[in-house]
């Protein structure tokens, strides 16, 4: 058991590095602190985005001044080139008297960077943060109510799904403009469905079918050694794997006020018990079962299904393009269809000295033309409905699937204490899957820690 715990801890650590809260794609190799820092190159830049007039609200060439931008996106030299070579020049065409100082960081370092900024009173004028981060930072008075700058939910909802806009609001006010999403959805190999007699165009539609299919698709050798996982549940942070089961079972993390913990409800416990059954009773996957490489099990025929990140498509284009036509996607469904979504939101600091320039830049960064470049770079999901028809989305089946099913998207977060609370989830879920605690006990203990964080 101790060895299993160590293995799972290693997996969780690796998954966290790969799936930081709001981001998709690979993490930047380095975080910058200077205005012109350029991270190491890790990804290519999209080339089908037009960075022309992004149609901001003010459209005022009299806006001027110098503003600071903190971004966990645009990793690698190609990312910096996209931002500073395409996106910002288009901004300067409209606002020639504004200067933008760019500071690059990573999602892994962003919370620490923001905490330092808040402590020093030097919060960047424009900053990006993940889904679930709005409540903690808005409640501390760090973010500007965008309604004061003329941006409204009603305006944004014309082009952005309302489910996505929820993650940018707190206490009835709008504190950010969504830029991109990343999702945890069901992903499967169609050829393996055919191999066991399943319809390759009919993925599981409820938990019973998911369990049945996972068992059919699991392959062990004569010695009982796992050769192919029927369902890979360990490819990403366990918190983000469990949530699709919680949400699909009708559960919620918190009540609407963010003050009451709901995830240890019967719906949440059943979700964790279901995962426990798949792992410990059915053996459709195992702790420590890996490729020994950076590739996902499903990329190398060692898993037939997974709860995966939409970024898998971009990753597979580079490392295993032969499987692209073999990939299918589905949402987890029990009481309701559901998938987890994170993402990136553009915000303006409450203490900015230049709100006109800051909101102009925020609008520009989150506008469809610039957002398309950022999404393509990371293999993520645009929030703008019109981008469903873009070449990028139409050539990425997983991103397209998420966009077509945004009504089933559920974000994490929902409490002012989320930045503290989220760090406890992985260990609690791990204890349940390793049968150190029952799912009920693990979630009750987690609820106790979370309630204490909320009270602080």
What would the mean pLDDT of 384-401 be, rounded to a whole number?
A: 97
Q: What is the pLDDT of residue 76?
A: 81
Residue 61: pLDDT band with limits 50, 70, 90: low
Residue with tokens 């409540």: 135
pTM of the predicted model as reported, rounded to 2 decimal places: 0.85
Q: What is the pLDDT of residue 17?
A: 38
Residue 425 CA to residue 427 CA, distance in Å, equals 6
By the 10 Å C-beta count (0-12 exposed, 13-18 middle, 19+ buried), 285 is classed as buried
Q: What is the pLDDT of residue 161?
A: 85
Has residue 33 got a pLDDT over 70? no
Residue 240 CA to residue 233 CA, distance in Å, equals 10
CA dihedral 252, 255, 256, 257 (to 10 degrees): -150
Contact yes or no for 114/129 (Cβ under 8 A): yes
Contact yes or no for 208/183 (Cβ under 8 A): no
Has residue 43 got a pLDDT over 60? no
CA dihedral 132, 138, 140, 143 (to 10 degrees): 130
Phi and psi for 137 in degrees, rounded to 5? -85, -35
**Tens-digit pLDDT profile for residues 82-131:** 999 999 999 999 999 999 999 999 988 998 999 899 999 899 999 999 99
Q: Which of 51-55, 366-370, 373-377 has the lowest mean pLDDT?
A: 51-55
What would the mean pLDDT of 11-25 be, rounded to a whole number?
A: 38
Residue 60: pLDDT band with limits 50, 70, 90: low
Residue with tokens 């089933």: 408
Residue 292: pLDDT band with limits 50, 70, 90: confident
DSSP result, 109-164: HHHHHHHHHHHHT---SEEEEETT-HHHHHHTT-B--GGGGT--HHHHTTTB-HHH
Q: What is the pLDDT of residue 58?
A: 45
Supply the mean pLDDT for the chain.
88
CB atoms within 10 A of CB 152: 11
Q: What is the pLDDT of residue 107?
A: 87
Residue 342 CA to residue 329 CA, distance in Å, equals 18
CB atoms within 10 A of CB 250: 16
Contact yes or no for 298/233 (Cβ under 8 A): no
What would the mean pLDDT of 134-154 be, rounded to a whole number?
A: 96
Residue 147 CA: distances (Å) to CA of 23, 132, 144, 210, 244: 26, 20, 8, 44, 32
- Report the relative pairing of strands 226-228 and 409-411 from DSSP bridges: unpaired
Q: Which of 25-34, 260-269, 422-431 has the lowest mean pLDDT?
A: 25-34
């Amino acid at each position: 058991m101790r060895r299993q715990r160590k293995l799972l801890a290693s997996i969780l650590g690796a998954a966290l590095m790969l799936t930081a809260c709001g981001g998709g794609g690979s993490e930047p190799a380095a975080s910058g602190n200077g205005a012109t820092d350029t991270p190491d190159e890790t990804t290519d830049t999209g080339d089908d985005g037009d960075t022309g007039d992004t149609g901001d609200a003010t459209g005022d060439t009299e806006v001027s001044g110098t503003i600071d931008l903190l971004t966990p996106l645009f990793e690698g030299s190609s990312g910096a080139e996209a931002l500073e070579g395409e996106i910002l020049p288009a901004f300067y065409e409209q606002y020639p008297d504004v200067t933008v100082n760019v500071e690059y960081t990573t999602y892994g370092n962003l919370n620490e960077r923001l905490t330092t900024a808040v402590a020093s009173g030097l919060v960047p004028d424009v900053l990006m943060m993940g889904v679930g981060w709005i409540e903690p930072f808005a409640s501390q008075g760090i973010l500007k109510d965008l309604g004061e700058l003329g941006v409204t939910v009603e305006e944004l909802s014309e082009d952005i799904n309302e489910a996505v806009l929820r993650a940018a609001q707190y206490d009835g006010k709008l504190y950010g403009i969504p830029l991109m999403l990343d999702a945890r959805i069901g992903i499967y190999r169609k050829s393996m469905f055919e191999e066991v007699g399943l319809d390759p165009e009919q993925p599981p539609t409820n938990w019973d079918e998911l369990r049945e299919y996972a068992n059919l698709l699991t392959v062990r050798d004569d010695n009982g050694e796992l050769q192919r996982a029927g369902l890979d549940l360990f490819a990403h942070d366990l918190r983000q794997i469990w949530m699709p089961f919680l949400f699909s079972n009708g559960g919620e993390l918190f009540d609407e006020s963010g003050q009451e913990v709901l995830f240890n409800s019967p719906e949440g416990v059943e979700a964790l018990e279901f995962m426990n059954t798949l792992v410990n009773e059915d053996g459709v996957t195992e702790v420590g079962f890996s490729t020994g490489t950076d590739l996902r099990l499903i990329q190398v025929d060692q898993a037939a299904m997974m709860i995966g990140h939409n970024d898998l498509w971009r990753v597979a284009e580079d490392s295993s393009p032969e499987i692209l036509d073999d990939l299918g996607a589905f949402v987890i469904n029990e009481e309701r269809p559901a998938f987890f979504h994170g993402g990136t939101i553009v915000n303006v600091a409450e203490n900015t000295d230049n709100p006109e320039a800051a909101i102009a830049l925020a609008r520009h960064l989150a506008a469809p033309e610039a957002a398309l470049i950022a999404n393509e770079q990371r293999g993520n999901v645009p929030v703008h409905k019109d981008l469903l028809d873009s070449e990028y989305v139409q050539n990425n089946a997983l991103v397209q699937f998420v966009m077509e099913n945004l009504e089933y998207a559920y974000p994490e977060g929902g409490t002012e204490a989320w930045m503290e609370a989220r760090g406890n989830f992985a260990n609690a879920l791990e204890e349940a899957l390793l049968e150190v605690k029952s799912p009920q006990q693990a979630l009750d203990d987690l609820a106790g820690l979370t309630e204490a964080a909320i009270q602080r």
